[in-house]
Every structure is written in C-alpha cells, then in structure tokens.
Amino acid sequence: MEVAVAKGGIRKGLRVCTFIAQWTIAQQQLGHEPTLEEAADWWKEAHSTWYLRQAEFREVFDLAENPAPIAKAAIAKAGQRLDRDDVGSAIAGLGGLVVA
C-alpha cells in the first residue's frame, strides 16, 4: 500500500490496492491465475472497468502486467499463517508481505 500511494498518490494508490485485493480474492476463489476477463466476470463487473484498473496498476507497478504475482504471494502467505493462526492474524501479517 505504501508503494502504491507513494507512486500513484492517495486516490490512485488506493484504487490500485483495491484492484490488487479484488484480483487476489478472485484468484484464490478460482484456484488459478485468472485472465482479466475472468476476474472481472467473477466480480460481475464490466471488462472495460477492469482494463482501466489494470492500466492504473501498470502505471504504479510498471514491472508487472497484472497483480497475479502479488496475489500468489499473498495467498501463499495467508495459507502459511492460517496453518498456525486465525484469519485475523493472517490478514494482519500481509502488511509485511515481500513479493519476489
């Protein structure tokens, strides 16, 4: 979140963070890395809206095409934490997430 807000400003940064969270939820629920259209359909939102969100994401995180690598890391991190702790702790632990 800090990187998104620092690079994109508060409004765009928060929109990008929301996009990452939505992508992560869709990826986790679908059980695979979704296409942009699959993720939009899962959320029952217009593809055009998701293309705009992806463009903002790319402006902020210019080395990634979509949030899939971030989502994969978040899902793995949450899974590790859920084996030991409760859901609240897993979510709180994502604040220290490092994406390689």
| DSSP string covering 15-65 | HHHHHHHHHHHHHHHHTS---HHHHHHHTT--HHHHHHHHHHHHHHSTT-S
Q: What integer pLDDT is reported at residue 83 of this predicted model?
A: 52
Does 58 score more than 70 pLDDT?
Answer: yes
In the chain, the amino acid numbered 36 is L
pTM of the full structure: 0.71
Does 90 score more than 50 pLDDT?
Answer: no
